[in-house]
Structure 1
Amino acid sequence: MTLTLGLLVVLVTIVGSAAQRMAGLGFALLVSPIMTLLLGGHAGVLLVNILGVVSSALILPRVWRKVDWSMFRWLAAFAIIGAGLGAVLAGRLSPDVMGVAVGAIVLLALTLSMLFTSERFSTEPRSPRALAGFLSGLTNALAGVGGPAVSAYAVLTRWPQASFAATLQPYFVVTGLASAGAKLALDPAGLPATEWWFWLIVLGAILIGIGAGERLLRLVTPAQVRRVVIVLACAGAAATLVRGLVGLLS
C-alpha cells in the first residue's frame, strides 16, 4: 500500500465514521469503493463488513436509549436471511451483474419512497419491515452496502430520524457479522491479508470520525441529517450500479 493510498483510506474512514454517527449510515457507502479498489471485490467487501461492525458497535452505546428494538428484531431477522442468500450469490454470480441489480433495485426503491409520501404509509405494518431487512441484508452481502434499502423504507414511512439512526447501529452489527460469517464459512481463506498496524490505524480513524460526528450533530437539524441520509443512499446505490456497468462493458 502506498502512502497516498493509505492516507486516502484513513481520510475516507474518518468521513465515513462521522457520517455514520450523524445519519445512522454512510460508513460502508463511503469506504466500500476505496476498499474494493485496494483489495479487490470479495476481500474489499468482506473488510468493509468487518469495519462496519466495529464502527456501529462503537456508536451503539451512545444511542442505546433511542433504539427501537421491535423494529430492530424484524429488520435483523430477515436481513440475516438476505445476507445468507447474498453470500451464496456473491460466490456464484458475476460481481458486475449483481452490482447492476443491487444498484438498480435500491435506486428504484429510493425513488418510489420519495414519490409516495401519503400519510397512510407508516412503520406499523410488518411485511414492509421484513422486505426492507431482506433487501438490506442481500445488498450488504453482495456489495457491502445495506443502508440504501432501509433508508428507502425510512423515507417512505417517515421513521423519525433519531430512532432510525440509533436502530441502524445494532442492525448493522448483526448484518455485518452475518455477511462476514457467511462469506468466511463459504471461503475460510477470504479474510484480506493486511498488516497488524493497518487495523490499529483504521480503528483510530473510526474513533476520530465518531468524535467529529458527535460535534457536528450539535450544528445540524434532523431534517438536514435526513437529507444527508437520502444523498448518501442514492450515491451508494448509484456507485454500485456504475461499477457494475463499467465492469460489464469493459
Structure 2
Amino acid sequence: PRRATAVPAGVVGGFFNATAGVAAPAMVIYSRVTRWDQVRFVATMQPVFMGMGALSTASKLAAGVHFSLPVPAVVALAALVATVLAGIAVGTWLSHHLSKATAQKLAMGLAAAGGVVVVVRRALTLLAG
C-alpha cells in the first residue's frame, strides 16, 4: 500500500538529497512501484523536492557545514528562478507531446542518469583524493 511505503521512500529520498543532492531516483522508483499516476506524481514532486532542498540546506547549516557559492547569492538565486521557470515551460510543452508511458520512461531514465552522475562524480573524487 502507498501509505506503508511513503515514509520509507521519503526518508530515503531525503537522505539521498541531503548527502548527494539527488532524491529523484528514490522518488521515481517509489512512483513506479506504487503505480502513481504520472501527472499527479509530477505535480506533487515539485513542492516535495523544494521542501527537501530547503530542509537539506537548513540541516547542513545547523550542523555547521560551511559552503560558498561560486557566484554572488543574488546571481545564484536568479539562476535558480530562471531554471525553475524554464523547467516548468519545458515540462508543460512536453506534457502536450508525450504519452504518459513515455513520460514515465523519461522520468526513470533521467533519475537513473542523475544517480549515475552522482556515483561517478563521487568515485572520481575518491580516486583523486
Aligned residues: 127
Which TM-score applies when normalising by structure 1?
A: 0.46
Q: Where does residue 10 of structure 2 map in the other structure? A: 133
Q: Where does residue 152 of structure 1 map in the other structure? A: 29
226, 230, 239: which one aligns with 2:108: 230
Contact 1:151 1:233 in 2 (8 A): yes
How far apart are the structure 1 equivalents of 2:84 and 2:4? 34
How far apart are the structure 1 equivalents of 2:27 and 2:38? 12
Which TM-score applies when normalising by structure 2?
A: 0.84
Instruction: Determine helix, strand or coil for the equivalent of 2:97.
Output: coil
Which 4+ residue blocks in structure 1 deviate beyond 6 angstroms?
Answer: none
How far apart are the structure 1 equivalents of 2:34 and 2:53? 24
The RMSD of aligned alpha carbons is 2.0
Aligned identity (percent) is: 32
The residue type paired with residue 184 of structure 1 is: L
How far apart are the structure 2 equivalents of 1:233 and 1:212? 17
List runs of 5+ in structure 2 lacking aligned partners.
none
How far apart are the structure 2 equivalents of 1:156 and 1:212? 26
How do 1:57-136 residues align onto structure 2 when only pairs under 5 Å count? 124-136=1-13
How far apart are the structure 2 equivalents of 1:182 and 1:139? 13
217, 221, 232: which one aligns with 2:99: 221
Contact 2:13 2:26 in 1 (8 A): yes
Query: Residues 95-154 of structure 1: CA distance to partner in whole angstroms, max 9, x if unpaired?
Result: xxxxxxxxxxxxxxxxxxxxxxxxxxxxx3433211111110000001111111011111
Contact 1:183 1:190 in 2 (8 A): no
Displacement after TM superposition at 1:179 (Å)? 0.3
The residue type paired with residue 215 of structure 1 is: W
How far apart are the structure 2 equivalents of 1:205 and 1:187? 28
Displacement after TM superposition at 1:201 (Å)? 4.2
Contact 2:2 2:34 in 1 (8 A): no
CA gap 1:197/1:248 in 2 versus in 1, 3 angstroms: closer
CA gap 1:238/1:188 in 2 versus in 1, 3 angstroms: closer
Instruction: Determine helix, strand or coil for the equivalent of 1:218.
Output: helix
